[in-house]
Amino acid sequence: MTSITMLIALFVVIIGVCTAQKVPVSVYYESLCPDSQAFISEQLYPAMKSPLGRFVDLKLIPYGKSNRSTIGSDVEFTCHHGPNECYGNKVHSCAIEHIQVNSFQNQYTRESLILEYVNCLMQLTRNFPDQLFPGKRCAEQFKLENWQVIEACANQTEGSKLLEKNGELTDTLKPSLTSVPTITFRHQQDESQALALVNFRSAVCKKMQSPLPVECTSLPNSAPVQSATTYLMGLSSLGLILALKI
């Protein structure tokens, strides 16, 4: 490569880094809560699978309106939708902690596999709150090789400790949690919560700084203007192609 093409390549990499912005989003939810199930399956999951997903830094916090008390070295929980939900919250917490992507699963990142698994749990428990918790079924569906690690975690003290941590995180919410799911953007609770429940993508876009990515400008109901980011990204790809050719 000539030095000028190297300079161009460097330039496009710098632009790429500078225009990448991720919005921190935290979802406080409960494993058997119908509103959490609807939000995750109908809003969060499809949005995260779409090109907009790469602009979201997602944190999942299963706990919601549970209560806890310390008994000896263990923690006991009471959950909004009963004991099955406490167990479910532990399976979620343990999966978020322990899921690993296997070498044959290169279509996933750890984060995307966690979301697939969580979405599977939420879909299979919808309308069937009393059936056997589908931890194993979803683990088989997504070929999680370490389901036994996740199950052992959920059935033992480790799961309680992880769920306790989620409880502590939930307790730090200001104002304190009143509805489930609660969704924060950039660690703030505001009117975006209501929008997120019905149009999560739009809520994410509202929290992004301009220039907005094309994933936001091409949303229905928004002006069809080409953003500067899109323009720069086009330029970047052109620069890369040039750099690779020379």
Ligand X SMILES: *[C@@H]1O[C@H](CO)[C@@H](O)[C@H](O)[C@H]1NC(C)=O
Residue of 5, 19, 155, 218 that binds ligand X (CB under 6 A)? 155
Task: Give 129-192 as a DSSP string.
Answer: TTSPPTHHHHHHHTT-TTHHHHHHHHHSHHHHHHHHHHHHHHHT-SSPP-SSSEEEETTB-STH
Helix (H, G, I), strand (E, B) or coil at 57: strand
Closest approach of Cβ 13 to ligand X, in Å?
A: 48
Residue of 116, 151, 164, 215 that binds ligand X (CB under 6 A)? 151
Closest approach of Cβ 218 to ligand X, in Å?
A: 42
Closest residue by Cα to residue 184 from 176, 175, 194, 193: 193
Encoded tokens for 2 = 């000539």
Q: Please report, as residue ranges, which positions from 6 to 35 form the binding site for ligand X (by CB under 6 A).
A: none
Closest approach of Cβ 237 to ligand X, in Å?
A: 50
Closest approach of Cβ 193 to ligand X, in Å?
A: 21
Looking at the Cβ atoms of 155 and 218, the one nearer to ligand X is 155
How many chain residues interact with ligand X (CB under 6 A)? Answer: 9
213 within 8 A of 229, measured Cβ to Cβ: yes
Closest approach of Cβ 48 to ligand X, in Å?
A: 29
Looking at the Cβ atoms of 134 and 213, the one nearer to ligand X is 134
Q: Kindly state whether residue 80 participates in binding ligand X, applying the rule CB under 6 A.
A: yes
H/E run at residue 25: strand 23-29
Pairing of strands 56-62, 23-29: parallel
Residue of 63, 87, 117, 147 that binds ligand X (CB under 6 A)? 87
* Span near ligand X by CB under 6 A; candidates 2-10, 16-24, 43-51, 79-87: 79-87
Looking at the Cβ atoms of 59 and 65, the one nearer to ligand X is 65
Phi, psi of 50 (to 5 degrees): -80, 170
Looking at the Cβ atoms of 76 and 190, the one nearer to ligand X is 76
- The rounded distance, in Å, linking the Cα atoms of 43 and 196 is 8
Closest approach of Cβ 167 to ligand X, in Å?
A: 11
Q: Kindly state whether residue 206 participates in binding ligand X, applying the rule CB under 6 A.
A: no
Q: Please report, as residue ranges, which positions from 59 to 78 form the binding site for ligand X (by CB under 6 A).
A: 65-67, 78
Q: Kindly state whether residue 79 participates in binding ligand X, applying the rule CB under 6 A.
A: yes
Helices 147-155 + 83-98 axis angle, to 10? 130
- The rounded distance, in Å, linking the Cα atoms of 135 and 96 is 12
H/E run at residue 117: helix 110-125
Question: Which residues form the interface with ligand X (CB under 6 A)?
Answer: 65-67, 78-80, 87, 151, 155
